[in-house]
Amino acid sequence: MSGDGGVSGAPSVLFRCDGSLTIGMGHVVRSASLAVALKTRRCKVRFAMRELPGQAGDFVRKAGFPIETIPCPDSEKNVLLTEADRACTGEAAHRSRAGCVVVDHYGASPAYMEKMKDRGMKVAVIDDLADRDLTAAGWLLNQNLGAEGLAYHTRPDCVRLLGPSYALLRPEFGIARGRLARKFAPNDCRVLLTFGGGETEPLCAEIMKALSDGPRRLDVRYARGGEDAASMAELMTWADLSINGGGSTCWELCCLGVPMVILTLALDQALNASALARQGCALNLGEWRADTGARRLAGCVEELLADPERRAAMSRASQALVDGAGAARAADSLLALVIR
């Protein structure tokens, strides 16, 4: 074995992503899920990341991957990736002999990716927004509902993996799904709160207050993305209902058939939340406002818990979207590009 998360002489891939208290952990968690699938296919994997507030680096290291630290002056936190960032990432790719750089970062401009390509590396992109020119990319993944309808600007030979059949989940979710025996009853009371790895404690305190004023005595547990990642599949299996954001956590919940009440915390979550509601997997309450949303949220939670048939239908619709094998599909596709 090598020190790069893989086998000596194997194809090598570098991931460029960031996570922090401000931007959350979604990019890091899904990139790590794909990295794990690549590692099981004897690929060497490293990460290039900035050291930002939060536990993103710890999460990646615990997953078994070394990190090339990208310098991060205070003025560069959580903004567009600079030319200095690109140069450091390029050097990290050169040192690890990476044939491909996977970019999962909203701050990576078309010029940033084009210069990576000009250095002889294949560029792969994990994206949600279709808001940039991606002609530098030879491979694109968007795991969200509605991805097929976005106007991506890619070159004709770009491999495009679109939709939740490519949801990037860690192996434990597929394992938990295989053991699942979910049942719903009118007296259910177990509610999971999870909003990723950002600064969500004030929001969760407001939600807990709203739920405590409701008619039902609830067993509520709060899971924070990066810190509680190791136990997330277990918590989701436990839950009768989830209150969550509209990001990557939705695909974990879908895989395990957890009915959702979604509160959107960022603009990039709105499309996903609306699509999941249309598919019958979730109730979409939109952007949270403590002054008007508390009573509505408590009412929706009580309504869903009292209706096991509706939650069972939501569970079936969710599991039909995500089977837990998306990371494996994506890894097979990406490796075919890397070794081509």
Provide DSSP, 164-211.
Answer: GGG----HHHHHHHHT------TT--EEEEEBTBSS-HHHHHHHHHHH
Amino acid at 34: L
Per-residue model confidence (pLDDT) at position 2: 47
1 exposed, middle or buried (CB, 10 Å; 0-12, 13-18, 19+)? Answer: exposed
Q: What string of pLDDT tens digits covers the 340 residues of the chain? A: 445 655 557 899 999 999 988 888 899 999 999 999 999 999 999 999 999 888 899 999 999 999 999 988 665 555 789 999 999 999 999 999 999 999 999 999 999 999 999 999 999 999 999 999 999 999 999 999 999 999 999 999 999 999 999 999 999 999 999 999 999 999 999 999 999 766 788 888 889 988 998 889 999 999 876 667 779 999 999 999 999 999 999 999 999 999 999 999 888 888 899 999 999 999 999 988 877 688 889 999 999 999 999 999 999 999 999 999 999 999 999 999 999 8
First vs last Cα of the chain: how many Å apart? 23
CA-nearest of 292, 313, 298, 308 to 218 is 298
Name the amino acid, one letter, at 112.
Y
Give the C-alpha separation, 79 to 111, whole Å.
15
Lay out the sheet containing 44-50: strands in order across: 67-70, 44-50, 12-17, 100-104, 122-126, 139-142, 159-162
Residues 322/168, Cβ–Cβ less than 8 Å: no
Position 98 scores a pLDDT of 96
Tokens of 222: 């709060």
Q: What is the pLDDT of residue 1?
A: 42
Q: Is the dihedral of CA 301, 307, 311, 314 positive or negative?
A: negative
Distance CA 46, CA 1 (A): 14
Q: What per-residue string of b and e applies to 266-301 under the rule 16 or more CB within 10 Å gives b?
A: eebbbbbbbbbbebebbbbbeebeeeebbeebbebb
Tokens of 64: 């078994």
Query: What does the H/E/C string look like for 215-275?
Result: CCCCEEEEECCCCCHHHHHHHHHHCCEEEECCCCHHHHHHHCCCCEEEEECCHHHHHHHHH
Distance between CA atoms of 241 and 212, rounded to whole angstroms?
Answer: 16
* Structural domains of the chain, with CATH: 12-168+324-338 (3.40.50.11190), 172-321 (3.40.50.2000)
What's the CA gap between 99 and 252, in Å, rounded? Answer: 30
